[in-house]
Structure 1
Amino acid sequence: MATTTSAPEMILDAVGGAENITHLTHCATRLRFELVDASVVDKATVEAIPGVMGAVPQSGDRYQIVIGGAVQGVYDEIMNLPAMKSGGASSRQADADVKAAARAKARGKNALVDAFFEYLSDSFRPLLPVLLGTSLIIAGEAVLEALGYIDTRAEIKPASLAFVDAMFRSVFYFLPIMVAYNASKKLNIDPWVGTAVMAALLTPNFIAMSDPELTRNVTCTVNQTLDTQMCTANVFGLPMQLQDYGGQVFVPLMMVAVLAVVYKQLVKIIPSNVQMVFVPFLSFVIMMPVTAFLIGPLGVWVGTALGTGLAWLNSTAPIIFAIIIPLLYPFLVPLGLHWPLNAIMIANINTLGYDFIQGPMGTWNFACFGATAAVLLWAVRDRDKEMRQTATGALAAGLFGGISEPSLYGIHLRFKRIYPLMLVGCAVGGLIVGLGGGVDASTFAFTSLLTIPIFSPMALYAIAIAAAFGTSFGLIAVFGYRTKEERAEALAAAGVVEADPAETAADLALEKQAAAASAQPGDAQEKTGQGQPKSALVPGTVTEIVSPLSGAVIPLDQVADPVFSTGAVGPGAGIEPEGDSGKHIVVTAPAAGTILVAPESGHAYGIALDSGVEILIHVGLDTVNLEGKGFDVKVSQGDRVEAGAELVRVDRAVVEEAGYPLTTPVLVTNAASFASVDVATEGEVATGAALLRVTAPDKN
């Protein structure tokens, strides 16, 4: 019984099997591997697996495989494979740690950079779904407010609206706790310890310390730039800066990095039989004060400084700022370097109540999606099924989810022509945002069609992203996304033969030559010598044209040459000749008539049939390039032929060895004289059997 290897199994095999994996996780679109030996992975093999959009080798033995929106399902399937359960990373963790440490020493600075951005990514990545969910709630509120149903800025709100606010503010307010949990897991310490340390700064007791009416020895100052208040209290004789840490992201990231060092040292020095109690206890005793006195204020200062700097640039040179942001993102996202900016966006919302980065950033996203839409257009035109599927999925993920990775890894990074054209769209969108005075966002969101209402002014943002989308789409639709060589290679791999310019010129010349010959007085006139119309031209007459050779009939639009498949020469059908490689193909005249065209190459024959139908029989595709080799021509231009007379005998082996398809189009070249030309049969057809049905108009 035949068995089928699934994509998850193929991925596992491609990375060297379960025994080569030390750690596997995933982000929104990518599988993230840490391997024992990444040199065994062949990038081309990985990218050929169905469902894989791209492969991204990283420094050391890290490896990423881009899946797209289905990554969670693929990850689950891989983890459930028997090989992973029996021989996966968990059974070799100690050995893996030793090897990982050895590799880390050899990786150098790039590995540290990779590790830093992986830390940021894995601390945020699990939160992306809830952030997206809350942004849609806010988008719904924005739509209702625009329609005049609610007022989110009212001092006293209805209980229903207050409850809806709580639904989304919960995620942003407790974001530091969620980030601390994920960051702790990433650094392999007890995530609940990190969570508890961060939660200490969000308790009502800590927040109440900022109220001078409730706590003694508290002084407060106002940040004029950001219009925010900062208070300081005297705690144990030391000054403690008091902040509302709700929504902060730099604080938990910095705190957990320090906590990990403290925690692991405590594990080493505390006896194992009391670690359960004293490791958390001492972690709290050390880290809660350190975080409150030092790390918390420092994290706020870092976020505030970055936000203030960008706010200054945005207010001083808004046009420059609005152009720089979308031009940077296409390079930041593939490297994972966009996470710090995402953190600043969240910090801006927490401190300012809005963010000014996401508006221009959204123009990059829609320029990216416009490029993907243009690639989809080309894929449909080229009948490229694989690219059509890739582009369709990537475009849906982008427009409705705001996720750019499927477009980037599945398409844009693979073709060097896309980026320069896409960057023009980024610049156009950013310029519109800058000229309009900037766009603010009321929450952190994935910039998709569904989240347009959260931006203000919404009309300016909609115009900017539409311009970015349209510019990228238009440029790539006109100029293409592949070089000529890449397109020819892709079409050949897909089984589509693109017309050779010389062959196209020769075919069209044949058509003109046949038309000119049929217009000469004599054999091909529309009336007989007695002045009677030819039989096929008698009003209402249906004339059958028989097949000039035996083979399988295929619709004309499936012939792998656009000169024929588009009907440029005339309607008809294609025939895939039957027979073995060692046999000749015999092409015969379908009816009595006069040879109008018979080039020396022997690859095509134009015949004016006595019935008044003019046909072109084109033996093979691109076979003009053989210059007559393998073609034993039996007729010449001007010859009279009878039905069944041999036109040419073709050596099948010669044509096949040269790599040319033997598909033979049979076309009616004077179709304008008739009401219709239809294919008369399907499947196999024998020489002399009906192939086409030509119907004359009801009236002359």
Structure 2
Amino acid sequence: MAATNTSTAEQIVEHVGGAANIASLTHCATRLRFELVDAGKADQKALDKTPGVLGVVPQGGDRLQVVIGGAVQGVFTEIMNLPAMAGAKPAAAGGGQSDADVKAAARAKARGKNAWLDAFFEYLSNSFRPLLGVLLGASLVIAFAAILDAFGVVDFRAADKPAGWIFVDTIWRAVFYFLPLAVAYNASKALNIDPWVGFSVMAALMTPDFVKLANPELVTSTVCTPNPIPSAADICTADVFGIPMTINDYSGAVFVPLIMVAVLALVYKTAQRLIPSNLHLVFVPFLSMIIMVPVSAFLIGPLGLWIGTILGQGLSWLNTFAPFIFAILIPMVYPFLVPLGLHWPLNALMLANLDSLGYDFIQGPMGAWNFACFGATAAVLVISARERDLEMRQTSTGALVAGLLGGISEPSLYGIHLRFKRIYPRMLVGCFTGGAIIAVGSLLLRTDGVRANTFAFTSLLTIPIFSPTFLYVIAIAGAFFVAFFLILFGDYRTAEERDAFHAERDQAEADRALEATRVAEPALEGAGVGAGAAAAPAAAAVPSAVAAPVASASPTTEVVAPVAGHVVGLDDVPDKVFASRALGEGVGIQPIDGRVVAPVSGTMMTVAETGHAFGLKTDDGVEVLVHVGIDTVRLDGRGFTVAVAKDQRVTAGDLLAEIDLGVIKDAGYDPTTIVVVLNTLTLAKVAPRTNIDVAAGDAIIDTSV
């Protein structure tokens, strides 16, 4: 009764030795990954019998993996929310880190030759990667707005837009307006300091009270002077305790929080060393805030924006006196400006150009960078689709849509490019190509570059605003396809990253096969059993009148060979899940012909449409899986002729399928046929007979119910 009223999460924690025995807990696509204080305290048999658990795989040392399947995220969340885990959460959650955080920490331990450069990009990546979801969501809203604007439905640049469309703007503007706060939070986590302190310091520069300091009508000591940059806001200085403070709008200024948090980390960690540990909770945040808010307001904030302004003015000078260099330089430097937030001031410069000149000269070359960025993302999409990387395929699909339709590079940059160091060098070649085309074309046409007659995101929908249009199209196409093909043929991952992904993907697919097999009862769909099958939700077995044990049924004392060949133990089977016996005890058979027969008499519980896997259940409850070959699901049925159907009654020796061993071997797959007893733990005896040659129908496993 106790087990009935106890959740799967509670039982798992109990059987691994309790919350106090969990040193860390993360998860991948299908497995909970435990680092235990003492692996000897874990009850693996009890874990294996826990509802919702598909198997237990011990690792080296005190590491233990619990196979859950597609429901792993929900089980992980339940475990972390258990009252018993409250006191243990810092340890159990890896210090409050997500699985991505833990992996990032692991990557940080493996620095390359340029450790400082690796650390720099890791800092940027960790500061922005958690924001991918909201950035992508906001970008899609912008893409929608850009489409409507391109077709003339509504002018999103108009000052007198209807209230409804102004409200639509708030959906995406909220993300970019408060981006400095989110960046400060994530950057603080990346440097292992309290993220809420970093958040609060940055928030102080964005409060209504701080903004009010820029209004001379409300603050008598504030003085505002005209900005030398056309169309830019006035420069306002407030007298704060006798010290002049420049008041700026820091919305969207992500360079400021990146600098601020780097300085904050020094202050915070120094305070931790100087203050007794029992006073850390109050005085470390107090000293950090009381020091860093003034430093940020008086120095770091204005400095960050000043750097951006100086950069914009320098680019304007360069375009005037060296347009050829400018056309190449802009797409080459933009990949470094965007992650630092230095591209935001350039937007103001673009608007100033439109106001004073009637056109802008930055957006054209910038388009070369954007489309090189999108080309790199498109290559990642093709590779991830080819290699069945669901997470990266979803990320790159959304980023590519936001890019091509909305002209938004941030989802590509933060979600993909900053995570893989091989992308940038190849993408820069695409940037150079696009810029060089504009530079050479401008010389030949005797123009001063590609101009834009309005401010817009550089996307497919905004191509008509650029002039000369055909030169712009050739440039962005060149940038896109050069980056695309360089990454497509060179990959975006290192060999180590690629091998690690393949191992994790294959493991996840095997786990999903295990999940599908364990729930393969008549009330559930049984197709897709085997390595590489699609995930199915974990569920308890459902009784069936067809498959229920029959009281008068003769006991199953042996499982016979479904194919003729040489029998080996599961330790010699080249599949980690089968070899770990997570699915149960059994054997592998190296076949010498392609005739596959039933190993027991009973009911066909599962019949894979691809013909590579069959699940049977005897009348006395023995569950047997026959899996033909390793990874043969990828053949999609080629070389397999199935002779039975789900729910069909068979007798041992009846034909299940005919397979063409030549097709399997020619495709590079191992034809070893695995036979396992799925409910091994519930049977009195499961004894394999190995290292023998057998004909189809010879005994290979002795059983006792």
TM-score scaled to structure 1, two decimals?
0.45
